Amino acid sequence: MRKLALLCLLSFLSIFGAITARASIFSQLHGVVHDPQHRPIANAHIELHATNSAFSKSTTTAPDGSFTIPSLPLGDYILTISQPGFDTAKQSLTLASDTAPVLHIELHLGTVQQTTSVTTDANTSNVNTVTPTTLISREDIAQTPGADRTNSLAMITDYVPGAYITHDMLHMRGGHQVSWLLDGVQIPNTNIASNLGAQIDPKDIDYIETQRGSYTSDVGDRTYGVFNVVPRTGFERNRQAELILSAGSFLQTNSQINFGDHTEKFAYYASLNGNRSDYGLSPPTGVVIHDASNGYGGFASLLYNRTPKDQLRLITQLRADYFQIPFDPDPNSIGNQQFQSSGLRDGQHELDGTVAFSWLHTFNPSTVLQISPFFHYNRADYESNPNDTPVATTSDRSSTYAGAQANITADLFPTKPGRNTIQAGFYSFGQHDNYLFGATFNDGSGTAPFSTPDSASGGVIEEYVSDNYKPTSWLTFIAGLRLTHFQGSFTENEADPRFGTALRIPKLNWVFRGFYGRFYQPPPLLTFGCTAAAIANGTCSIQNFALSTGTSFAPLHGERDEEHQFGVQIPLRGWLLDADTFKTRVNNFLDHSNIGDSSIYFPVTVDGALIRAWELSLRSPRLWNFGQAHLAYSNQIAEQRGAITGGLICSPPNSAECDVDPNYTPVDHDQRNTLNIGFNATLPWRTTASTNVYYGSGFTNGGFDPDGPPADPRYPNPYLPQHTTFDLSLGKTFSEKLTASITATNVANRRVLLDNSLTFGGFHFNDPREIFGELRYRFRY
């Protein structure tokens, strides 16, 4: 705890001692207003309104016709420009995080009856960033089949290339360590794959922006994916509340009540939610047994514009979840010959709470400061029935994080806004972990039970500088450096440069982009529950247990990634195609393994990994005033090489049994082809329909031994079966207050063995068909 307190103190003191940088969900908007002869128009009124809420900002143009609006959350907006004697112009646009687009707007001379000139920038290419992004709104979440359920990640997997669920975990771009940013604040969680519950309820999200690699240096260290969450704020409400009730197959319900309001300076939003189902995790058979889940939580957002230059934001959430661990009831099944789950009656309790406070101060239109202290508590307790066979296992872990990030952005040339934007800042947190691992042996071996506690403290301090330079409107360069200092039981330091460029081809408006960057991921603090002294004198029971199974434990070190990426955006008549290819080389690849038949994840690092892919996403405009289509496709190869170097390692390392193939082999979550195609339609009679088709070519681990008979003769090939599912949702609005919908996921109820990693109950079949109805009732209070 002393180390934790010291690191927290350093975090807060550094706020006032360092030059700092921008927030990750915010953008700036620059523009120039001129007449048909390209003469600047001064004192034109600029009004910016959020498309889906009452949030707005206004300003006037300077004598040279320029304007700047800072501190804008990412999302969709309508820009209105008006001036006496000219027609009013409107323009729709979408703002991405960490960008500063520059608009050139021409006002036409007014007529006797002034008309409105409407243009749109929806689904256009973006030369302001080199990061491939996908922006999903709360309307997308509400319409996408099953996406608004608390523990669903369909809002990501249905729209983002290379994102899928296997062994109950989200995987993306060949890994599963992703970063969540809540209201621009990165919420730390260094523990790999130990939680099953949601970080945030999808119903509380206004927008979520998914970034896939090619990050500027102000965005963290997890190259696989970054999720920027803009929560609901209350600006979309006027003393309004919404009650959401649902019920369906597997006795499921997923309900919420939320309410919000706003004034000119203040907005609030709050919600309470609860869910339960007899189907929670992917089962090891086609039959769902001992698989109930339930959870409840709350969320609140407060936003106060104290002055035109000062904004205060507070985000807080708390939730608790419970998951039964499913099992295969047939002790003689093929699956139970590899992992005996028939005697297990396990469950996992989880608790997660976050508080993030932000102060945004605008010094002038081109310089904005953000300071954000935060606190995060995360707990995952895996507990067994004492009579479990062959082993009743307990694994309780809790982590406490406290720290801060501070951000400033400034234009080097205020007279040319957006030309050269520089950022510098830091991100830091202290962490304290407690861990308890125990086992009771009911296999008749006579092995004595044990229960081993452990704790550790550590933390991270990161500093960065980043420059975004636009010599012309069609060319952008980025360059930056991120410095990381990790302190735990050992110390690691890393310096990561990042470079990129985006080039727009005139007239075609195609945008080509390239990127090179390096990343460092701090490791989990605890590998297992034992002190170094206990290991040295041979009194560590878990170490002795591991040795009896041919494994042992070694310290975990940070993962280091090197990424190369190239991409292109192609707009055509309102359609936007985004294609990219990347290659990521990894040293100390963070993954997970399990000891014996414990069914519990232990973090490990593998000597190296190589991930290669090309990806494609496609978004349509509104077709025939009917609906919008989306497509996400990935062709990916995720491989690893060498031995496990940290965490649960093979023992003794120099034995013949621990020899590994030095060549690259597929990781257990390698899936070569992943495709999602969806359509959200607006139909007559105030009805809606949404569909999604998912195709996966199958995960590796079909035949375990290429030189002998497969472990399961039903799956003799290296990859498990391909699988396709179809989801459908139908909705109807009866009045302004009442909306109802019915949703079916995996309509055909096609079931296949999805994955046979021995975690959380052993093998994993894909989700069965689920049918449920939802009722939304809005009212004023």
Strand-pairing partners, residue 180, are: 187, 227
Instruction: Average the pLDDT over each of 33-37, 313-317, 633-637 and give the range with the smallest value.
Output: 33-37
Check whether 300 has a pLDDT greater than 50. Answer: yes
Separation between Cα atoms, residue 611 and residue 585, nearest integer Å: 7
What is the bridge-based pairing of β-strands 627-650 and 602-619?
antiparallel
Phi, psi of 234 (to 5 degrees): 105, -10
| pLDDT value of residue 115 | 46
Hey, what are 655's tokens?
């034995």
Instruction: Average the pLDDT over each of 491-505, 537-551, 673-687, 723-737 and give the range with the smallest value.
Output: 537-551
What is the bridge-based pairing of β-strands 551-554 and 627-650?
antiparallel
665 and 681 Cβ atoms separated by less than 8 Å: no
Nearest CA to 523 out of 648, 653, 647, 609 is that of 647
Check whether 6 has a pLDDT greater than 70. Answer: no
> Average pLDDT of 416-422?
84
Phi, psi of 25 (to 5 degrees): -105, 5
Instruction: Average the pLDDT over each of 114-123, 178-187, 210-219, 666-675 and give the range with the smallest value.
Output: 114-123
Q: In what order do the strands lie in the sheet with 56-60?
A: 56-60, 45-50, 75-82, 88-95, 116-120
Separation between Cα atoms, residue 273 and residue 296, nearest integer Å: 5
pLDDT digits (tens, 9 = 90+) for 142-166: 999 999 999 999 999 999 999 999 8
Report whether the peptide linkage leading into residue 603 is cis, meaning its omega lies within 30 degrees of zero.
no
Nearest CA to 496 out of 473, 479, 512, 509 is that of 479
Q: Which residue has the higher pLDDT, 711 or 184?
A: 184
Q: Which residue has the higher pLDDT, 487 or 91?
A: 487
| pLDDT value of residue 19 | 35
Q: What is the mean pLDDT of the chain?
A: 86
Q: What is the CA radius of gyration of the chain?
A: 27
Count of C-beta atoms within a 10 Å radius of residue 779: 12
Nearest CA to 143 out of 623, 704, 678 is that of 678
Separation between Cα atoms, residue 259 and residue 239, nearest integer Å: 7
Separation between Cα atoms, residue 87 and residue 36, nearest integer Å: 12
What is the bridge-based pairing of β-strands 163-166 and 293-307?
unpaired
Q: Which residue has the tokens 């696989």?
A: 224
pLDDT classification of 361: cutoffs 50, 70, 90: very high
| pLDDT value of residue 312 | 94
Enter the pTM of the model. 0.89
Check whether 406 has a pLDDT greater than 80. Answer: yes
Separation between Cα atoms, residue 759 and residue 518, nearest integer Å: 31
Check whether 583 has a pLDDT greater than 80. Answer: yes
| pLDDT value of residue 121 | 45
235 and 269 Cβ atoms separated by less than 8 Å: no
Q: DSSP code of 743?
A: E
Check whether 611 has a pLDDT greater than 50. Answer: yes
11 and 20 Cβ atoms separated by less than 8 Å: no
Check whether 635 has a pLDDT greater than 50. Answer: yes
pLDDT digits (tens, 9 = 90+) for 39-94: 888 899 999 888 877 788 888 998 888 888 887 888 888 889 988 888 888 888 88
Q: Which of 94-108, 109-123, 332-346, 489-503 has maximum average pLDDT?
A: 489-503
pLDDT digits (tens, 9 = 90+) for 688-700: 999 999 999 999 8
* Diameter of the chain measured on Cα atoms: 96
Nearest CA to 24 out of 328, 247, 276, 356 is that of 356
Separation between Cα atoms, residue 466 and residue 482, nearest integer Å: 9
Q: Residue by residue, what is the 3-state secondary structure of 536-567?
A: HCCCCHHHHHHHHCCEEEECCCCEEEEEEEEE
658 and 159 Cβ atoms separated by less than 8 Å: no
What is the bridge-based pairing of β-strands 253-262 and 75-82?
unpaired
